[in-house]
Amino acid sequence: MHFKEMISGKYKKTVFLLLLIILLVTIVIAGSLGSARISFPDVVRIIIEPITPMSIENSNIKETSRIIIWKIRLPRIILTVIAGMGLGVSGAVFQGIFRNPMANPYILGISSGAAFGVTLGMTMGLQITFLGIGAIPISAFIGAISASVIVYLISGGGRDILPLLLSGIAMGFLLSALMSLLMYFNRSQLENIVYWTMGSFNAASWQKVIITAPVILSGSFFIIIFARDLNLMVLGEDSANSLGISVKKSRLIFLLVSTFITASAVAVSGVIGFVGLIVPHAMRIITGPDHRTLIPYSMFGGAILLLTSDTLARTIIAPTEIPVGIVTSLLGAPFFLFLLNRMRNTK
Amino acid sequence: MIDEVIVETKNLNWSYNETKVLDNVSIDIQFGTFSGILGPNGAGKTTLLKLILNLLKVEKNSILIRGKDIKNYSRKELARIEAYVPQSIKMDFNFTVEQVVLMGRTPFLGRFDRESGRDFEIAEWAMKETGVLGLKNKLITQLSGGELQRVVIARALTQEPIIMALDEPTSHLDIHHQINILSILRSLAKKEGLTIVAVLHDVNHALEYCNNIFLLDQGKIVDSGSPEKVITPEVMKNVYNLDVNIKKNPFTGNPYIVHDYA
C-alpha cells in the first residue's frame, strides 16, 4: 500500500471501524462458546435485551442462558477486553517513552512487583477486602505500584531513560529472588502462586470490572489526548524540548498513568505477557507510528488479542482451562521472533 | 539587515560536576547573521549552543532572547523563536518524512488541534527549500545521513523560527553533502532573514560561510567578529596549536587556511 494512503484519514477510520467490528464479533463468539453452547443470535439478543426499548421475540431464550451470559461469561469478557485495552495502550506508551519498539509495560518492574505482592499476601494469609475486591488483586496492585515508584526514584527521578531501564531490570531480578525465597519456605502456597503468575481471568466479576474500567478507560483517554507529545519524545529529549514540550514532566505523567493502567490490568488477571509488546508493534505496521492513531488502535488490538486468547484458553481443552498467559506467550513469542527478524532484514 | 540583537549572553558561567565548562561568556548574535561557534574539542561549544536553546539549566538574567530573560519564556514560546538541529538523530520508528517535518508545527498547535492546510503548506515549503520534497512519503528509517540531516533542517524551518541553532550539522556527511547543507543554510539566511548559529568544526567552512565567528577555548571567548579578523595564524597557533598559512580561495575570493600535516 502507498504510504500517502496509509496516513490518510479515511484509511485510518476504515481500519478503526474494522477493529471495532472484529472486537464485537469476538465478544459474541466468546459469549457463545463454553460448556453450554449458546447460539450467536441468542448471545446478541441476551446482551442487547436490557438496552433495547422494543421487546424482541425472546420467548425461546432459556433462562439459564441469560444467567450464564450475564453472571459468568459477560463479566469475564468485559474484564478481559478492559485489561487487553490497558495492556495495549501502556505497551504503546512505554515503547514511545523508551524510544524503543521492543519495550513493554513490565520493564519498570510492574509484573515482578505484582507477583511479589501476591506472594507476600498469600504466604502471610492476608484476608483483606476493599470495595468488594479480595486480597490477591489488592496485594498485586500495591506491589506493582510500589516497585515502579521505587525504580523511578532510585534511577534519579527519570532524568534519563537508560538508568530507568536498568533499574527496572535489577528490580525485577531482586523481586523474583525474594519471591522464590518466600515460595521456598511456604510450599503449601506454591501452586497458587505459580498459577497466579501465569495469568487468568477465571476469577472475573462485575465488581472487578467496575473497579478497573474507570482507571483503564480514563487513563487511556488521557493518553490519547496527550499522544502527540509521545511523537516528539521519540525524536529524543533535546529535540522534543526544543519543539516546546517539557520532556521530563511529560515522561513522568505518561509513566504514572500507564503504570496505573498496567497495575490495574495485572491486579485482576495476573502476569499476561506479550500483549503489551506485540499489539503496538502490529498496529504500527498497519497505521504507522503516529501515536494519535497508534494508541486507540492498540487499545482495540489489545482487547481483541486478549479476548481471543482467553476464549482459546478456556475452551481449547475444556473442561480444563489453560492460564491465558500461556496462550498469549505461545502466540506472542513466535510473532516477536518474526518481528525481530523482519527488523534485521529491513536495516 | 535589521539591527537587532536576538541572543545576548551576559557573563555566562556554566559548570558540569564542579568542572567549569563556560567561563564568563558574553556574546551578541545579530539578526540575520550566520554565526559560527568554533573551538577545539571540549571548548564548550555544544554547551553554549544548548544553553541558548534553554536545553540546559541557566542562571537568571544571563541569557536574553530578544531582550527578554530566557527563563521568562515558556518552552512553547521559545520554540516559536528558536529551532534546534541536533548533531544526529536516531530513529527506530517508521515515521514518514512529512510526518517528521510536520512535527515542527507543534509549537503553534493547541492540545486538540490537528495540522491544518496552512501547516501542510509551511511543511511543503520547508521541504522544498531543503530539497527533500521528493522524499516526502519515504520512511525516515530508510534515509541516508545527508537526507536525514536535510529533513531535520526542514523540520526546524517548519517552526518558522527567527533563529536556527545547529550542532555540527555536517559532522556525519561527505564533503559534497557538507557543502550542500551549509549552502542551504546560507541561502536561508539571505533569502528569509533567518539567523543561524552553528557549532562548526571545519575552520575553512566558517571562513567561507559565516559572517561572524565566536572562537571558544577552554570555556572562554578568545575572540569574536568577522572571520577574517578572528582567524589569524597567531590565533590558530594559540588555540589549536597549529601552524597555518592563510590563502585566498580562487573560486570565492574568501580566505582559507592551509597547514602542515607533520
* Chain A partners within 8 Å of B55 (Cβ): 238, 241-242
pLDDT tier, B195 (very low <50, low <70, confident <90, very high otherwise):
very high
The CATH architecture assigned to A3-346 reads Orthogonal Bundle (1.10)
Is the Cβ–Cβ distance between A324 and A309 less than 8 Å?
yes
Sign of CA dihedral A145, A96, B109, B71: positive
Do B55 and A288 make contact, defined as CB atoms within 8 angstroms? no
From the list B131, B122, B188, B124, the residue with the least C-alpha distance to B160 is B122
**Residue with grid cell 543554510, as numbered in its chain:** B185
More confident residue, B196 or B3: B196
CB contact under 8 A, B92 and A232: no
Domain edges within chain B: 5-81+161-259, 94-160
* Mean pLDDT rounded to a whole number for chain B: 90
- Give me the helix-helix angle, A206-225 and A74-97, nearest 10°: 30
d(CA B172, CA B85): 13
Q: Which pLDDT score is estimated for A59?
A: 63
Whether B76 sits inside 8 A of A231 (CB atoms) is no
| Inter-chain residue contact A3 with B137, CB threshold 8 Å | yes
CA distance A31 to B213: 73
Crossing angle between the packed helical segments A324-346 and A275-287, to the nearest 10 degrees: 40
Residues forming beta bridges with residue B28, ordered by sequence position: B8
Return d(Cα A193, Cα A323) in angstroms, integer.
13
CB A235 to CB B103 under 8 A? yes
Which of B46, B78, B92 to substitute to test the interface with A, most A CBs within 10 Å?
B92
Question: Cβ–Cβ contacts within 10 Å for residue A4, how many?
Answer: 12
How far, in Å, CA of B83 to CA of A283, rounded? 32
Per-residue confidence (pLDDT) for residue A57, from 0 to 100: 60
Task: Measure the CA–CA gap between A137 and B191, rounded to whole angstroms.
Answer: 64
Judged by CB atoms closer than 8 Å, whether chains meet at B86 and A3 is answered as no
The predicted pLDDT at position A65 comes to 85
User: What is the fold, at CATH topology level, of the domain defined by B5-81+161-259?
Assistant: Rossmann fold (3.40.50)
Compute the distance between CA of residue A170 and CA of residue A253 in angstroms, rounded to an integer: 23
Q: Calculate the alpha carbon distances from B87 to A9, A39, B165, B166, B212 in Å.
A: 34, 62, 11, 7, 21
Cβ contact, residue pair B55, A241, below 8 Å: yes
The Cα–Cα gap between A321 and A34 comes to 11
**Eight-class DSSP state of A57:** S
Domain boundaries, chain A: 3-346
Question: In chain B, where does DSSP find H-type helix?
Answer: 45-52, 75-79, 97-102, 117-129, 145-158, 175-192, 203-209, 227-230, 233-240
Q: What is the ipTM of this complex?
A: 0.90
CB contact under 8 A, B96 and A3: yes
* Gyration radius (Cα) of chain A, Å: 21
The alpha carbon of residue A236 and the mean position of all alpha carbons in its chain are separated, in whole angstroms, by 26
How are strands ordered across the β-sheet holding B63-65? B19-30, B5-16, B63-65, B68-69
Residue B153 cell numbers, joined:
533542517
- Please tell me what DSSP assigns to residue A208: H
Using CA atoms, how far residue B38 sits from B194, B197, B227, in Å, is 20, 11, 11
Name the interface residues of A facing B (CB cutoff 8 Å).
Answer: 2-4, 7, 99-101, 225-226, 228, 231-232, 234-236, 238-239, 241-246, 284, 288-290, 346-347
* pLDDT by residue, tens only, chain A of 347 residues: 344 444 567 888 888 999 999 999 999 999 898 888 888 888 888 888 877 766 656 567 788 888 888 888 999 999 999 999 999 999 999 999 988 888 888 888 889 999 898 888 888 777 776 766 778 888 889 999 999 999 988 887 767 788 888 888 899 999 999 988 988 888 888 888 888 888 888 888 898 899 999 999 999 999 999 999 999 999 988 999 999 999 989 999 999 999 999 999 998 998 898 899 999 988 988 888 999 999 999 999 999 999 999 999 999 887 888 999 999 988 888 887 887 777 666 54
Residues of B with a Cβ under 8 Å from any A Cβ are 50, 53-55, 74-76, 78-80, 82-84, 86, 89-96, 98-100, 103-104, 106-107, 109, 111-112, 137-139, 141, 159
Cross-chain Cβ contact B99/A290 below 8 Å: yes
Higher pLDDT, B252 or A135: B252
- The pLDDT value recorded for residue A55 is 61
Residues of B with Cβ-Cβ distance to A7 under 8 angstroms:
96, 98-99
- Determine the pLDDT at residue A194: 86
| A3 to B103: CB separation less than 8 angstroms, yes or no | no
CA dihedral sign, ordered B211, B215, B221, B226? negative
Look-up of cell digits 503449601 = A188
For B136, name the nearest residue in chain A, comparing CA atoms only.
Answer: A4
User: Tell me, what's the pLDDT at A1?
Assistant: 39
Return the closest-CA partner of residue A87 out of A104, A109, A107, A112: A104
What letter represents residue B176's amino acid?
A: H
Nearest-neighbour CA in chain A from B210: distance (Å): 24
Residues of chain A in contact with residue B137, where contact means CB-CB under 8 angstroms, are 2-4
Contact A243 B79 (CB under 8 A): yes
State how far the Cα of B149 lies from the Cα of B254, in Å rounded to an integer. Answer: 26
**Cβ(A73)–Cβ(A228) under 8 Å?**
no
Q: Exposed, middle or buried: residue A129 (CB in 10 Å: 0-12, 13-18, 19+)?
A: exposed
* Dist CA A12 CA A16 (whole Å): 6
Distance from CA of A11 to the nearest CA of B (A): 16
At residue A56, the pLDDT reads 59
Is residue A89 classed as helix, strand or coil in its secondary structure? helix
Give the angle subtended at the CA of A232 by the CAs of A227 and A236, to the nearest 5°. 135
- Between CA B251 and CA B230 the distance in angstroms is 22
Q: What share of chain A is helix, strand, coil (3-state, %, to 5)?
A: 75, 0, 25
